[in-house]
Amino acid sequence: MLLLIRYNICTKIMPTKDKTIIRYFIIFLICLICIYTRYISNLFVPLFMKVYYGQLVELFKFALSAILWAIELIILCYFTRKKWNINLLMKKNKTTYSIKRIIILYLIVLIPILIISASLGFKLKIEYDFGERITTPYLIKQLCKYGSMAIQMIFIVIMIEVMQVAFDKIIITKYKIPWGGIIVMLTYGLIELIIDFSLFSGVYLLFCGLYGLIYIVSNERNSITYILSYILYLL
Amino acid sequence: MENKWTNIFNKLKIILKRYALLISFVLLTIFYELLGVAVTFHKFYIRDPRILFIYLSLASVLICLLPKQKIRYICCSILLAITGIVNLLFIVVYKMTGTIFDFGMLNLRKDAMGIIESLPIPFLFTFLFGLSFSLYLVFGKKYLNYLPEIKITKLKTAINLFLIIILIITNVIVVISLNNVTTKASEVERLYEKDELGYTELGITSTVINEFYKGLFFNNVDMGDEQEIADFLYQDDHIYYGSKEANPNNIDRSNYNVITILAESLEWFSFIEDLDKYPNGYNLEDPTVLESPNLYKNLYDFYNRSIVMNQFYAREKTDISENLSIIGNYPTDAYINYDFPYNTNPFTLPNVLKSLDDDILCKSYHNGLRGYYNRNICHLSLGFEEFVDTVTMESKFNMKNYIPTGERNLDSEMISSCKEEMFPLDRRFYTYITSITMHGQYTFRNNLDNKGYYDYLDSIGVKEQFGKGKDDENKNIFRNYCAAALEFDRAIGKLWEILEETGLSKNTIVVIFGDHNAYYQGLSNYVKQIYDTNDHHYTELFRIPLMIYVPDMPHQVIDKFCYTADIVPTLFDLLGINFYENMYFGHSIFSDEESILYSRAYNVFITNHIFFPNLNKILYLEDGYDKEYLNDIENRAVKIMTKLGYINRIFYNDYFGIKSLDNNDNPIKKNEIIFYEHLKAINNGEDL
C-alpha cells in the first residue's frame, strides 16, 4: 500500500512515441479472449451427456478448456516471440530478494489466506470448495478445475505482465504502481463478477489486484507471481 | 579464560553455520511430528520417539555423506516435504475415519471414495507446515551461498558408514521390540499394554514406518500346534447346548427361515423421541405421532413384535460389523474381505446352517456396488451361494438404480424387486440383506423427496433450516437422516407385508441391527450431545438397535449388554443349534454370560459402563461401577483376547483350508471335515 500512497507528486503521463506499446495491448486482448474460449467446450457437452449418466460433463468441459488453452498459449507465445520479439514466459530477471521484500511477499499471500479461512470458520478455501459430499466424479471434476485454472493463471500472469510493461511506458512514476493488477482487476475480474455474481467472484476481483501487487513486489518475476497467485487461488 | 570461551563460541558458530540446513531440518521434522500429534490427539508429546529419532539420525548421517551444501539443501527439502505431507495425509485420514493408520488399511484404498465424505484439511497444520516449509526453502536458498562447504574426509565417511550400520541395527532391535510386545497369537497382552492412544505413542511418521515394518515382516502368525487349536476349539466344557429362555415353549425351529438385515447407520433416535438420551433428536409436542402410518409405523410395529435388545452396541465400520454378524469373530491387523477372501470358513452362520440342512438356500443381497468391500468374492467363501448386488438387481429384477445420479438406492425398492428370490416359498432360506439408504452423507436427496418423506417431516415440524450457523446445519443433517430412516421404515413395511402374505411370518426369524452409529457428519455426537470420554454416559454414543422377531416368542425388552458378535450365537440358540463357544467371540443373548465388545478398528474395549483401550488406561467408567465390576470386565476381556489369539492363527493360516491326502490319496480339507463332524456330533448326538 505504501507503494500506492507514495507515488503522488511524481506521476507523469508521457505522450510516448513507442509504437510497440500497442502490441502489449493486443497481447492483453488476445489473452482475455483466450480465457473465454472456455465456452467453446460447451458446444461439445451433448457428446458427453451419455458418459456415466452425464456425471462427467463438467470434467470433460474442464479438460477440453485446458487443452484449448494450452494450444492457444503455445501459439501466442510462439508468435509474440517470432514476430515481435517479446518473450512472455521466460524472463532472465533473477535478482535475489531482500528480507524486507520476502516479508512483504509473505504478508501479501498470508493475510488474505488468513482472512478468507477465518471467514470460512478456519477452513481452507480448498476444503470449502470440495464441500461435504465428495463423490468420485466430483473429486475428479474439482481436480480438473484446479488443473485448468493452473493454465488459466498463466494467461492472467501474462495479462498482468504486458499491462505493467505498457503502462510503465505510458505513465512514469517514481514508485511502481501495479498497473497490471489494476487493469486485470477492472477487466477480467469485473467480467467474472458480472458472469457469476457471487461473494467469491467479488473476492476473486480483489485477488486480481493482489496478483498485480505480487508481480511488482516479486521484481516482475513471472514464475514467482504465478506460484504465489496460484497458492492464493487454491487456499 | 575469556579468550577460551570466545574460541569455543566461534567454533560453535562455525559448526552451527556448517550444519544449519541439517539442524533446521531435524527441528522442523520434530515440530511437524509434534504438531501432527497435537492436531489429532490434542497432546504435544510423543511417548516413544525411538523410531522418530532413528529416522532422523539415519537421515542426518546420510545427508552428512553428501559433499555439497546445495545437494544437502535439496535432500533436506525433499525429506521435509515428505514428512509434512505424510503427516498431513494421515491427519486427514484420521479426521475422516477416526482411526490411525494400519497396514491392513491399504487394502481399503480402492473403496476409499465410498468412505470419503469430505476432505477435512487441518487448517492449523497446513498453515504452519506451509509457512515453515516455505521459509526453509526461501531462506535456505537465500543463504546457501554463505554456508561454508564441508570437506568429506575418508575418516568422516568411515565414521558415518559405521554410524549407519549401528543405526540400522538399532532400528531392527527397536522394531522387533515394538512389534513383539503383542504377537497376534497371544492377544491377551493387549489388555495390559501401557501404550498411549493412537499417534501419541509413536508419532505419525513413525507409526506409518512401523506399520510398514509390521505389515511386511511381522504380519505372519505362526500356526503353532494344529492339535492345540483343535483342543481349544472342541473343549467339551465349552459347548453351548442352548437355553430355556431362547425357546420357552420348546418348539422345533429346525425348519425356520432366517432373515438378517444390516441396517446401515440405524439409530434408536431415527424413530424414537427421548429427550434425555437424544437432546437434539425429535422434540415433538406429541411423540406418539411418530407411530403414524406416514412416519415410522412399520418400525414401531416391528419393535412391538420383537425381542428388543436395549443395550446393543457397535463400534466398527460396516464391513467388520457385517462379518461379525455372519461369522461371529474377526482377526486383528487384517481385513477378512481383502486379506482372507478365499479362506475356508466352516464356522460361519450360512456354512453351519448348510452343514445341518442340505436344502437351505443362503444368499446375500446389497443394493450397493458389487465389488465394494470385496463382497462379491468374500461372501461366497462365507457360505452364501450368491451375492446379489445393484447391477443384478437392476438387470434381473428391474430395480431402479440411483447410484449414477449420485444418490443412494432405496431399500424398499430392493425388497419389492427381489422379494421372490429373497424369500423363496419352496425352500428353507437364510437371507442376509445389507441396506444402504441410511448411509451418509445426509444431504437432500431427490429420490427421498419424490417419495414425499420431507413433506411428512415438515408436517411434524422437522423442517429445513435456512440459517448458516452450525446448529441449523446439524438440524438439516438430522432431518435428511430422518428422511432416509422413513425409507428404511417403508422397506420394513414391505418386508412384513410379504411375510404376512406368504405366511412366512409364522416360521421366519427376522433380525434387524444397526451396523454402527450414525457417525457421518458427526450426527450421533450432535443428537446425543456426546463428544468426549469425559461426557456423561459416553458409551451411549455407541448404543444402537437390535431387534429380533421370533414368530413364537412375545415382544420383550432386554437390558442385557450385547454387541454385533452376539448375533451369530443368538441365532444358533434360537434355531436350536448347539455350538462350540470358543469359536465365537459373543454369547447368546439368552445365556447367562455377558460379552465385552472389542473393536478391531479402534482397538478399544466397550460395554455399556466402560470404555478403554487397555486396563492401564480406562477412559470412561460409569459412576457406581467399582473394582468388582472391573474384575468381571478383566475376566471377559481375557476370554475374548484368548479366543482372538486362536482366531488369528486360524485366519492367517487358513486352518480349515489346510489340505491333506485321504486314504485314496485324494486331497481333503481335514480340519474342515473335523469341524463338521464335531458340529454334527453335538447336534445330532452322533459319536465322533
| pLDDT of B10 | 86
List C-alpha distances in Å: B272 to B267, B279, B281, B284: 9, 12, 8, 11
| pLDDT of B478 | 96
Contact B123 A102 (CB under 8 A): no
Radius of gyration of chain A (CA): 19
Contact A135 B521 (CB under 8 A): no
Angle at Cα B49 formed by Cα B62 and Cα B12, nearest 5°? 55
**Would you tell me how many other CB atoms lie within 10 Å of the CB of residue B581?**
21
Q: In terms of CA atoms, which chain A residue is nearest residue B134?
A: A106
A227: amino acid identity, one letter: I
List C-alpha distances in Å: A105 to A110, A156, A189, A212: 9, 18, 22, 12
List C-alpha distances in Å: B244 to A225, B241, B545, B589: 79, 10, 24, 12
Best B39, B91, B97, B113 residue to mutate vs chain A (most A CBs within 10 Å): B113
| pLDDT of B129 | 95
Q: How close A135 gets to chain B, by Cα (Å)?
A: 7
| pLDDT of B592 | 93
| pLDDT of B29 | 96
> Measured on CA atoms in the order B284, B287, B290, B294, is the torsion positive or negative?
negative
Cβ(B462)–Cβ(B456) below 8 Å: no
Q: In terms of CA atoms, which chain B residue is nearest residue A53?
A: B404
| pLDDT of A97 | 83
Best B96, B124, B127 residue to mutate vs chain A (most A CBs within 10 Å): B127
Q: In terms of CA atoms, which chain B residue is nearest residue A138?
A: B406
Query: Which residue did the predictor score with more confidence, B78 or B154?
Result: B78
Asked if pLDDT for residue B104 goes beyond 90, the answer is no
Range with top average pLDDT, A134-143, B141-150, B216-225, B588-597: B588-597
Q: In terms of CA atoms, which chain B residue is nearest residue A52?
A: B404
Asked if pLDDT for residue B577 goes beyond 80, the answer is yes
**Closest residue to B119, CB basis, from A102, A122, A130:** A130
Closest Cα to residue B458, out of B301, B294, B300? B294
**Closest residue to A135, CB basis, from B119, B120, B406:** B406
Provide the b/e sequence for B405-430 (b: ≥16 CB within 10 Å): ebbbbbbbbbbbbbbebbbbeeebbb
Quick one: DSSP state of residue B409?
A: P
| pLDDT of A5 | 40
Contact B118 A134 (CB under 8 A): yes
Q: How close B440 gets to chain A, by Cα (Å)?
A: 9
The mean pLDDT value for B473-481 works out to: 94
State pLDDT tens for residues B274-310. Answer: 999 999 999 999 999 999 999 999 999 999 999 999 9
Radius of gyration of chain B (CA): 29
Bridge partners (DSSP) of residue B620 are B611
State pLDDT tens for residues B213-240. Answer: 888 887 778 888 999 999 999 999 999 9
Asked if pLDDT for residue B543 goes beyond 90, the answer is yes
Asked if pLDDT for residue A2 goes beyond 80, the answer is no
Least confident of A11-25, B93-107, B210-224: A11-25
**Closest residue to B117, CB basis, from A124, A134, A137:** A134
Backbone angles phi, psi at B469, to 5 degrees: -70, 165
Contact B123 A122 (CB under 8 A): yes
Asked if pLDDT for residue B620 goes beyond 80, the answer is yes
Contact B116 A122 (CB under 8 A): no
Asked if pLDDT for residue B110 goes beyond 80, the answer is no
Cβ(B394)–Cβ(B417) below 8 Å: no
| pLDDT of A92 | 59
Least confident of B252-261, B437-446, B566-575: B437-446
Grid coordinates belonging to B566:
452376539
| pLDDT of A7 | 44
Cβ(B394)–Cβ(B401) below 8 Å: yes
Model confidence at A133, in pLDDT bands (50, 70, 90)? low
Best A100, A107, A132, A217 residue to mutate vs chain B (most B CBs within 10 Å): A132
- Residues ≥6 apart with Cβ < 8 Å to A31: A76, A155, A156, A158, A159, A162
Query: Which residue did the predictor score with more confidence, A20 or B60?
Result: B60
Backbone angles phi, psi at B146, to 5 degrees: -90, -10
| pLDDT of B179 | 77
Specify whether the backbone of B532 is left (phi greater than 0), alpha (psi in -120 to 50) or beta: beta
The mean pLDDT value for B487-504 works out to: 97
Domains of chain B, earliest start first = 2-217 (no CATH), 253-613 (3.40.720.10)
**Closest residue to A134, CB basis, from B116, B123, B142:** B116
**Closest residue to B117, CB basis, from A55, A117, A132:** A132
Least confident of A164-168, B571-575, B592-596, B648-652: A164-168
Least confident of B93-102, B129-138, B257-266, B421-430: B93-102
CB pairs under 8 A between A and B: 56
Query: Which residue did the predictor score with more confidence, A56 or B52?
Result: B52
The mean pLDDT value for B90-119 works out to: 76
Helices (H), B267-410: 297-305, 318-326, 336-339, 349-356, 375-381, 390-397
Backbone angles phi, psi at A209, to 5 degrees: -65, -40
Single pTM value for the model:
0.80
Contact B119 A117 (CB under 8 A): no
Query: Which residue did the predictor score with more confidence, B141 or B479?
Result: B479
| pLDDT of A1 | 41
**Would you tell me how many other CB atoms lie within 10 Å of the CB of residue B151?**
7
- Cα A27 to the chain's mean position, in Å? 14
State pLDDT tens for residues A136-159. Answer: 777 777 888 888 888 889 999 999
Contact A110 B131 (CB under 8 A): yes
State pLDDT tens for residues A64-76. Answer: 888 889 899 899 9
DSSP string, B542-575: GB--EEEE-TTS--EEEEEEEEGGGHHHHHHHHH
**Closest residue to B443, CB basis, from A106, A124, A133:** A133
State pLDDT tens for residues A202-234. Answer: 888 898 999 999 999 998 888 889 999 999 888
The mean pLDDT value for A46-55 works out to: 68
How far is the first Cα of chain B from the last one, in angstroms, to the nearest whole number?
A: 92
Report percent pLDDT > 90 for chain B.
71
Contact A127 B118 (CB under 8 A): yes
| pLDDT of A8 | 46
> Measured on CA atoms in the order B681, B426, B409, B466, is the torsion positive or negative?
negative
Model confidence at A4, in pLDDT bands (50, 70, 90)? very low
B487: amino acid identity, one letter: E
Asked if pLDDT for residue A12 goes beyond 60, the answer is no
The mean pLDDT value for B88-93 works out to: 91
Q: How close B62 gets to chain A, by Cα (Å)?
A: 30
Asked if pLDDT for residue A3 goes beyond 60, the answer is no
**Closest residue to A127, CB basis, from B121, B124, B404:** B121
Look-up: residue for cell 438397535?
B545
Strand ranges, E, within B149-298: 239-240, 257-263
The mean pLDDT value for B641-655 works out to: 94
What ipTM did this prediction achieve? Answer: 0.84
| pLDDT of B12 | 87
Grid coordinates belonging to B532:
468426549
Q: How close A172 gets to chain B, by Cα (Å)?
A: 32
| pLDDT of B458 | 96
Chain B positions touching chain A (beta carbons under 8 Å): 113, 116-121, 123-124, 126-127, 130-131, 134, 138, 142, 404-406, 441, 443, 521
